[in-house]
Structure 1
Amino acid sequence: MRAIAIFSPSRRSGKSWLITALARSLTRQGLRVVPFQSQTEITKGYRVSADAEVSQSAAWQAWAAKIQPTTHLNPVLLKACSPPGESKPKFQLLIQGRGIGTVKRTAYYDSYYDIARPLIRECLMALPPKYDVLLFDSYRDSLYHPLTSDTDQNFEILKGLETPVTGIILIDCTHEGAINQLWGLWQRLSPENRQLIRGVIFNQWQGDRPQETQTSQWVKTHLKRPVLGYIRPLQNLAFDPESLCTTVAHNPVNLPQNKLRLQVIQLPHLCPYADFDALMGEASVQLEFIDPTETLGYPDAVIVPHTSQAIADLDYLHKYGYPQQLQQYVNAGGTVLGIGNGANLLSKKIALPSGDFQPALGLTPFDSQPHTKAALFPTETFSRFPFPNLPLSGMTLPCDILNYAPSSGYTQLFETPNLGLVNQSQNIWAVYLQGLFNNGPWCRFWLNALRQKRGLSSLPTGIANFNERQEAILEALANHLEQYVDPTILLEDAA
């Protein structure tokens, strides 16, 4: 394994997007890449399980490397929980994705940092040896503790990997003083760690060729290192590593008052969270995960997700009065969509292992039987609602409606029988297709039906599927990087 560590003297310098682009570039060269984001400050996380999350930038980096995001790849998070602009903001401290308390930034570095650092090192050392390249997204605390050398601390964590480490300094040229940033960081590095620096990359560079020549000469003279690339600003690509949005955010349809508010019921055994990536990637959607201990309220739609333990989660919903809350919501004109076992929970009664039946949520007139570890199979079909003949793909979840009949007033959603049902009012949806929202046109037609109820303008429907759009962004990032930097040079040792 070879490790590449990206360092920068400033926050928001582009480390996260650079590692995302680099991960995809090296992966498509046939290398097995694992990105590691040791510690991150975030405002919004990406859920990887019912009780754990990582930063959205860590998720992007994992997808770029074509692996699944896990908390081992992003062991420490400081998640902002104070209103924007507060002078002394507070953070929820998450260790391997799970919250352990609320701290101020300085209190974290004073009281918890020495505990978190060994955990970071432990997760780093536990990475499987099957990978060819480790991409280390460094963190910094010198903004808050100016007398300590955060960069040396990062190198300290990297020690013990028993693999060559190549350090790259990334300089943000958005603001004046790029050379001052570089020189200040270089002075802080210990002589030992300077030996690991392969070279410098200037990000957001907008200078001309003579400026490049002059800058490269300065770096070579003072640092005895080469400039490895001058990366120009991204053009015609809306990419924010802290967001799953894949559309341009500066659009009137994405203003808060024009967004749809969708709530996913946070069932204890919800799975998989990736089902909702496409909705999280819609800039016109505010997606919330709501625990049944909270009052439901009146969002534009409620989603009852697939669960691996339908009966246990049904008991949880009954405990907090959710059958009554959902019935009131539907009676007021609300829309409910159930997926897999979530669709089964919408039924009138649900079968128990004993053969008896238990009252379910009572939103559909059917009885149902939950499934646990049924095999999933890829399927392709066409829609009937909300727009006919749209091609759809996904994984089938077994449909366990026991007494469906056309006279029930429910219509088949898809050309494939029993893959989905919708009532005449089109506000109760039962779906047995995992990955439904990944189907871009269908998802947009469904969202537009909700927007029409609110009197909002429609979204364009001629779009690619979410995974295809995500892949296109990752490929575009890698292509952009390769215009200005040769990724293979980053694998070489410092001179």
Structure 2
Amino acid sequence: MAVQSSHLMVQGTTSDAGKSALVAALCRVLQRRGVKVAPFKPQNMALNSAVTPDGGEIGRAQAVQAQACKISPTVHMNPVLLKPNSDTGAQVILQGKAIKNMEAWGYHGYKKVALPKVLESFELLCQQYEVVLIEGAGSPAEVNLRDNDIANMGFAEAADVPVIIVADIDRGGVFAHLYGTLALLSESEQQRVKGFVINRFRGDVTLLQPGLDWLEQKTGKPVIGVLPYLHGFQLEAEDAIAYDQSLGEQVKLKVVVPVLTRISNHTDFDPLRHHPDIDFRYVRKGERLTDADVIILPGTKSVMADLEFFRQQGWEKDLLRHLRFGGKVIGICGGYQMLGRFISDPDGVEGSAGSVNGLGLLDTHTVLTATKALTNVQGTLNLNQQTAHITGYEIHVGRTTVNPPQVQPISLDSGSLDGVVSECNQIFATYLHGLFDHPQAFQLICEWLGLTSIDVPSHHAIQERAIDQIADAVEQHLNLGLIWPNY
């Protein structure tokens, strides 16, 4: 069976094998060649999400891939998004809108209901674009998940699209990963695999050649190419937290972020993590919130449970000590809610109905609601009597009441206000994600933190460089004629 289609699905031997980045690279390569191309991921499980112009919620990886195509993202690029809210359950978002919370077994059966919607979204993209580049999820060799699969080969079979499989050699065992993955597929699934891509190789590729020859002889599938390890590659991650950082000669600001159990949209902090003058550190379970100029409380999918986790780690005491010594605190989304006097969940939106005391550092209170705020916004940020244009997006449940005389520093173009600055001027909180993406806003926040001499690059420009960097590598190292003879 030879699958004839210009559309292509990229699957991986493991999570974080490089599927998202490879799809973004292929999107940019085709875009450069004048091909109308769009990304697609049938099912994504991630707590990093983006708001589309059509008012829905998708995985951030698909928004970045749309950027690579130089098109606007839509909900049809990621029709099923799962946002975990416990070890066994997740909020299910279908074509951009949250429909319900489901436990794993319940969702396993629901996939039969979701598949027609997934195929509907795919077909809409196929009608608009010459090529749709599809990203798989996890690994197609997870035999326990084969029934009702819509994320990998189940979708490829239903949509009748060819597949390439990527593996990360930096993890070790790359030939076992690729050979074993193919061996665990059914005969029809094996036939639709066009070849393999090896990712993140360090060293002389000629030393790899005997292994490549062995793999091709054993599987009958070509190795489409070997991508090198890209140093300084700064494309935002789909969901995994990146702990590595390269610092310059002089650190001007120390930032720490506690890793909550359901931390969401940690891509907010990429502009900080990538800045050579900022010592950015994620603080994990069992570590202390110390040695910082600013502590940032991030967003979370489960604010009340993560507030309890925050306290269990002893981080509340660390935070209070930090403030006593004059440190600054920023709260974003769920972190903003935690900083108030109490959080109430009367309808059990996040679990059991009830209320908890917040950290009590802002004179605010939050009531969680079933309706989720999903909007892209822009406006003006006012800090220390200075103003800057700000852009961002809101993804949250709950309404926060701000009691006077506290100042709300963000005036949105819609006419509403957002956020709080404490009377002591040490705490700034907001619902806006993407807070540091805009250079003017980044600069003003740095000035509020007491840092006046720092160069602030454009986050969009950094992402563009990363997309072009990996697209250049793909054009140089992959035999794209094996995939698209006509492009």
TM over 0.5: yes
Greater CA deviation, 40-49 or 252-261?
252-261
Conserved 8 A contact 1:205-1:232: yes
One-letter code aligned to 2:28: R
Determine the C-alpha separation between the residues in 2 that align with 1:300 and 1:475.
46
Residue 228 of structure 2 aligns to a residue whose secondary structure is coil
Determine the C-alpha separation between the residues in 2 that align with 1:2 and 1:29.
14
Aligned to 1:287, which of 317, 323, 332?
Answer: 332
Structure-2 change in CA distance of 1:5 and 1:426 (3 Å): same
Is 1:252 the counterpart of 2:302? The answer is no
TM normalised by structure 1 equals: 0.61
Give matches, 1:95-110, under 5 Å. Answer: 95-109=94-108
Determine the C-alpha separation between the residues in 2 that align with 1:76 and 1:326.
38
Matched with 2:15 is 11
Structure-2 change in CA distance of 1:338 and 1:130 (3 Å): same
Matched with 1:277 is none
Matched with 1:281 is none
Residue 7 of structure 1 aligns to a residue whose secondary structure is strand
Aligned to 2:114, which of 106, 113, 116?
Answer: 116
Q: Deviations over 1:40-97 (max 9, x none)?
A: 1112321226963111111111111111111111000111213xxxxx4321111112
Greater CA deviation, 33-42 or 174-183?
174-183
One-letter code aligned to 2:34: G
Conserved 8 A contact 2:54-2:75: no
Determine the C-alpha separation between the residues in 2 that align with 1:288 and 1:224.
51
Structure-2 change in CA distance of 1:321 and 1:8 (3 Å): closer
Matched with 1:310 is none
One-letter code aligned to 2:333: E
Give how far 1:28 is off: 1.5
Larger Rg: 1
One-letter code aligned to 1:177: G
Aligned to 2:473, which of 454, 470, 480?
Answer: 480
Structure-2 change in CA distance of 1:260 and 1:178 (3 Å): closer
Matched with 2:368 is none
Conserved 8 A contact 2:40-2:134: yes
Is 1:340 the counterpart of 2:413? The answer is yes
Q: Which runs of 5+ in 1 are unaligned?
A: 83-87, 160-164, 264-283, 308-319, 347-360, 364-424, 428-434, 453-457
Structure-2 change in CA distance of 1:122 and 1:17 (3 Å): same
Structure-2 change in CA distance of 1:195 and 1:304 (3 Å): closer
Greater CA deviation, 291-300 or 72-81?
291-300
Q: Deviations over 1:113-165 (max 9, x none)?
A: 11112221111112253422110112357537166595541322323xxxxx4
Is 1:491 the counterpart of 2:484? The answer is yes
Matched with 1:203 is 199
Is 1:224 the counterpart of 2:301? The answer is no
Conserved 8 A contact 1:298-1:329: no
Conserved 8 A contact 1:262-1:300: no
Aligned to 1:171, which of 164, 167, 171?
Answer: 167
Q: Deviations over 1:260-294 (max 9, x none)?
A: 5699xxxxxxxxxxxxxxxxxxxx97532779997
Conserved 8 A contact 2:235-2:463: no
Q: Deviations over 1:177-233 (max 9, x none)?
A: 222222222223333333332211111223643442112211221222221111122
Determine the C-alpha separation between the residues in 2 that align with 1:484 and 1:337.
47
Residue 73 of structure 2 aligns to a residue whose secondary structure is coil
Is 1:21 the counterpart of 2:21? The answer is no
One-letter code aligned to 1:198: K
Give matches, 1:11-90, under 5 Å. Answer: 11-48=15-52, 52-82=56-86, 88-90=87-89
One-letter code aligned to 2:121: C
Determine the C-alpha separation between the residues in 2 that align with 1:304 and 1:177.
43
Structure-2 change in CA distance of 1:438 and 1:193 (3 Å): closer
Give how far 1:171 is off: 1.6
Conserved 8 A contact 1:238-1:247: no
Matched with 1:430 is none
One-letter code aligned to 1:484: H
Determine the C-alpha separation between the residues in 1 that align with 2:16 and 2:114.
22
Matched with 1:314 is none
Determine the C-alpha separation between the residues in 1 that align with 2:57 and 2:272.
25
Residue 162 of structure 2 aligns to a residue whose secondary structure is strand
- Pairwise CA RMSD: 4.1
One-letter code aligned to 2:236: D
Structure-2 change in CA distance of 1:336 and 1:21 (3 Å): same
Structure-2 change in CA distance of 1:436 and 1:95 (3 Å): closer
Matched with 1:181 is 177
Matched with 2:91 is 92
Determine the C-alpha separation between the residues in 1 that align with 2:482 and 2:126.
24
Structure-2 change in CA distance of 1:146 and 1:180 (3 Å): farther
Conserved 8 A contact 1:239-1:473: yes
Structure-2 change in CA distance of 1:262 and 1:167 (3 Å): closer
Q: Which runs of 5+ in 2 are unaligned?
A: 239-266, 284-288, 300-328, 345-357, 365-374, 380-398, 427-433
Give how far 1:34 is off: 0.7
Structure-2 change in CA distance of 1:465 and 1:298 (3 Å): farther
Conserved 8 A contact 2:126-2:132: no
Q: Percent identity?
A: 23
Give matches, 1:360-375, under 5 Å. Answer: none
One-letter code aligned to 2:412: I
Matched with 1:465 is 458
One-letter code aligned to 1:327: P
Structure-2 change in CA distance of 1:488 and 1:51 (3 Å): same
Give how far 1:305 is off: 5.2
Structure-2 change in CA distance of 1:29 and 1:157 (3 Å): same
Matched with 2:211 is 215
Conserved 8 A contact 2:156-2:163: no
Matched with 1:240 is 236
Give how far 1:484 is off: 2.0
Structure-2 change in CA distance of 1:147 and 1:470 (3 Å): closer
Higher strand share: 2
Give how far 1:168 is off: 0.9
Give how far 1:105 is off: 2.8
Determine the C-alpha separation between the residues in 1 that align with 2:363 and 2:140.
41
Aligned to 2:129, which of 128, 131, 136?
Answer: 131
Determine the C-alpha separation between the residues in 2 that align with 1:29 and 1:285.
43
Determine the C-alpha separation between the residues in 1 that align with 2:208 and 2:376.
55
Q: Deviations over 1:325-377 (max 9, x none)?
A: 253322xxxx512032326x69xxxxxxxxxxxxxx9x9xxxxxxxxxxxxxx
Conserved 8 A contact 2:156-2:162: no
Structure-2 change in CA distance of 1:225 and 1:41 (3 Å): same
Conserved 8 A contact 2:85-2:91: yes
Give how far 1:240 is off: 3.0
Conserved 8 A contact 1:149-1:188: no
One-letter code aligned to 1:206: R
Give how far 1:170 is off: 0.9
